Amino acid sequence: MTGAAGIGTLTPRGKRAWLLGPALALADLRHEWVLTACMTLAVAAVMTPILLLLGLKHGTVEAYRTRLVQDPAFRGLEPLRSREYDARWFERMAQRPDVAYVVPNILRGASSVLLGRPGLERQEFVDLLPTTANDPLIAANGARPPAEGEGVLSFAAAEKLRAAAGDVLEMVIERRAGETVRAALTVAGVLDPRADPIERLYVPFALAEDIETFREGKAVPQRGWTGTTPVPYPSFDRAYLLLPAPLSPADEARLTLGTGFTEGGRIDRAELAAELGLTVPATEAVYRLRVAAGAVQRSSLGTVADQLRGRGALILPQADGAAEITATSAAGSHRHPVAVVGLSPDPEPAERAGLPATPWPAFSSRNAEVSFPSIAQALVPSGLDIGDAGTVELRFGNLSAGGSAGVPLRVAGRIDGDRLIVPADLLGMLRTGVDRRVVYDPERRGLVLAKAGNRGFRLYAATIDDVEPLHRALLEEGIDTVAQLGEIRKVAMLDRGLTRLFWLVAVVGIAGGIAAMVSSLYASVQRKRKDLGMMRLMGMRQGAMFCFPMCQGVGIAGMGAALALGAFLALARVINTSFTLGLPPGSSLCHLPAGHLALASVITVTVAAASSFVAGLFAIRIDPAVALREA
């Protein structure tokens, strides 16, 4: 009856059949608790160092990555050299997904101001930087973006000035002419020491731009700062020389020595007629001077005039560029593309060369003051249909690049040919609008040299991983930048090194753990061959027999994982308590998220189950006759 009862117990039906193997495995583990404890400690001894190493890797790297990510100073890029950046460049950079923030910078010469407390003689020089809303350097370092009339100090500047948030300081701006203006400034905040080691003042972009404008000698009416209105200087791409006698080869060669022109030589009258629409007598020797890149200014023409003094030379400076005029008459508004020629010759040489008389002042190669109303006129081709319009609006240059706007000109008369003739000074001013922004100011009724594009920028990448790709992308545009690439690469190297070390230890440890688990469970099955054979003889199924060592392996691994987790948490606490120097606030040297710990436990149990597979296969191959032979 006892046997019958035993057989009935070992051959259950339904769901209970799957519980027999695990139940016997756990009962056997309790019975041999000493051996179970040893195997559990062995699993924990393998798993704990791996968890500690992974925790150190994760904690150390993440601590420093957090420091780099949270501190925008490590994500910043600044240009190494000064060059001009237009508004479209900033718009394009702001739209890039790898750029978190970009703001124009002002010239270095305009970025130093005196700062001190009102009424006190002691003032300190600080470097000035513009800022706008959402500046990550300010937002992440204990301050808020300054509003109009406010500024944010770096920690070094605040220490030197002994200033704090809410204090009112006086800013003194000087320029070369000896003129000085003052402005009150409220301290909106002080940055953390890590943000900026230099004595700096961050002010709204509009204020920084006005300071730069004032330093350039220009007026800033909205702030009551006086100055001059900059007028565009004439610049030219080429010049034609008309002489009553040819030059010697030596004199001709000197035309490109120290004059700013890079090439020159004699041309025939037909080329002059084709290029300028001017016909000159056969007695005139015609020369053309050109510049390979950029443009020459009035001083270059003055140097050429000095070399040709006493030879009766007539200098005709010209500019390249497409032009069009708009004429508004009783019949309506008409736009016409037209070739434009600058012509302001002296009367005597002009009469000798057969050039048309012009009603405006002659062009001077010296720095002469020119009244804009006196040159705001043109001679219009007689074949151009402008009706009875008394004025035309001239557009010249590369308008898409911010060139000159339309300029109203008085129609001074008609002329044969197909060229619009304007004063050389006016053409030169409009040519400057190709390189600099020149606009027509209706209030002043003249051309004004608008502010040049920004000469620098302050840019922050979206993440530290974007810094190096951004650096390379800007380098491809010819913009070399300064960035914290060294610090970022150190973290990447540390991450790679710790990853290799972790996998080396993990592979060795896991291999040793698998070998120990397989050998232990295999030895356990070998030792219990008689008992397992008896259970097979009593009717235990192969599935339950296979589960017996498998469940023991999983059980031992589970208990070992729990013990290893407890040991890891205890040791991690000791490490984090003992070693905190130099770590960012809130970070730890040894740390693993709960998800990582759970994954490590699952992997341990999975590896144990795989290791028990061999023992399970051996268990189901045990012949029940073994129990009878060894009885």
pLDDT in tens, 368-403: 778 888 898 999 888 877 777 778 888 886 533 344
Q: Do 513 and 578 fall within a single domain?
A: yes
Asked if residues 505 and 51 have their Cβ atoms less than 8 Å apart, the reply is: no
Q: How many residues does the chain have?
A: 631
> What would the pLDDT profile of 343-373 be if each residue is shown by its tens digit?
999 888 888 888 888 999 888 877 777 888 8
The mean predicted confidence, pLDDT, of the chain is 79
Asked if residues 122 and 116 have their Cβ atoms less than 8 Å apart, the reply is: yes
Q: Do 531 and 620 fall within a single domain?
A: yes
Instruction: Give the range with max mean pLDDT: 31-45, 96-110, 241-255.
Output: 241-255
Q: Report which of residues 449 and 19 the model is more confident about.
A: 449
Residue 259 buriedness (CB in 10 A; 0-12 / 13-18 / 19+): buried
Mean pLDDT of 281-298: 90
Q: Count of CB atoms within 10 A of residue 405's CB?
A: 20
Q: CA geometry: angle at 606 spanning 604 and 610, to 5°?
A: 115
Instruction: Give the range with max mean pLDDT: 9-18, 19-28, 133-142, 198-207.
Output: 198-207
**Last-in-domain residue among 318, 342, 359:** 318
Q: Do 377 and 399 fall within a single domain?
A: yes
**Domain annotation covers residue 72:** no
Band (pLDDT 50/70/90 cuts) for residue 527 is low
Q: Do 296 and 386 fall within a single domain?
A: no
What's the rounded Cα separation, in Å, for the pair 408 and 34?
Answer: 104
- Rounded to the nearest 10 degrees, how much is the dihedral formed by the CA atoms of 552, 554, 559, 560? 110
**Domain annotation covers residue 508:** yes
**Domain annotation covers residue 384:** yes
CATH code at position 306: 3.30.70.3450
Range of the domain at 349: 323-449
Q: Count of CB atoms within 10 A of residue 218's CB?
A: 19
Q: Do 226 and 297 fall within a single domain?
A: no
Q: Do 493 and 566 fall within a single domain?
A: yes
Tokens representing residue 152 in the block? 């944010």
When divided into structural domains, the chain yields a total of: 4
Q: Do 492 and 617 fall within a single domain?
A: yes
Band (pLDDT 50/70/90 cuts) for residue 8 is very low
**3-state secondary structure at position 199:** coil
> What would the pLDDT profile of 102-157 be if each residue is shown by its tens digit?
998 887 666 788 888 876 667 888 888 999 988 888 888 878 889 998 999 999 99
Residue 97 is given by DSSP the state: T
* pLDDT at site 239: 94
Residue 292 is given by DSSP the state: S
Write the single-letter amino acid at 451. Answer: K
Helix H, strand E, coil C: the string for 165-191 is CCCEEEEEEECCCCCEEEEEEEEEEEC
**Domain annotation covers residue 418:** yes
- On whether the pTM is more than 0.75, the answer is no
What's the rounded Cα separation, in Å, for the pair 423 and 627?
Answer: 121
Q: Which of 45-54, 164-173, 291-300, 476-485 has the lowest mean pLDDT?
A: 45-54
Q: Do 434 and 473 fall within a single domain?
A: no
**Domain annotation covers residue 119:** yes
Asked if residues 67 and 417 have their Cβ atoms less than 8 Å apart, the reply is: no
* pLDDT at site 4: 37
* pLDDT at site 192: 85
Write the single-letter amino acid at 91. Answer: E
Q: Do 420 and 400 fall within a single domain?
A: yes
Q: Which residue has the tokens 């770590």?
A: 583
Asked if residues 154 and 198 have their Cβ atoms less than 8 Å apart, the reply is: yes
> What would the pLDDT profile of 89-106 be if each residue is shown by its tens digit?
888 999 999 899 999 888
Q: Do 208 and 99 fall within a single domain?
A: yes
Instruction: Give the range with max mean pLDDT: 251-260, 332-341, 436-445, 611-620.
Output: 251-260
**Last-in-domain residue among 303, 318, 333:** 318
Cross-strand bridge partners of residue 225:
220
**Domain annotation covers residue 612:** yes
**3-state secondary structure at position 119:** coil
Q: Do 262 and 300 fall within a single domain?
A: yes
Asked if residues 251 and 301 have their Cβ atoms less than 8 Å apart, the reply is: no
Comparing CA positions, the residue from 290, 284, 289, 255 lying closest to residue 269 is: 284
Q: Do 416 and 340 fall within a single domain?
A: yes
Which string of DSSP letters, residue by residue, matches 563-619? Answer: HHHHHHHHHHHHHHHH--TTPPTT--SS---HHHHHHHHHHHHHHHHHHHHHHHHHH
Counts of helices then strands in the chain (DSSP H, E): 19, 24
Strand duo 285-290 + 332-342: pairing: unpaired
Instruction: Give the range with max mean pLDDT: 71-75, 438-442, 467-471, 544-548.
Output: 467-471
**Last-in-domain residue among 288, 318, 348:** 318
What is the rounded radius of gyration, in angstroms, for the C-alpha atoms of the chain? 43
Looking at 231-344, list the stretches that DSSP marks H as alpha helix, in order from N- to C-terminal side. 249-254, 269-276, 298-307
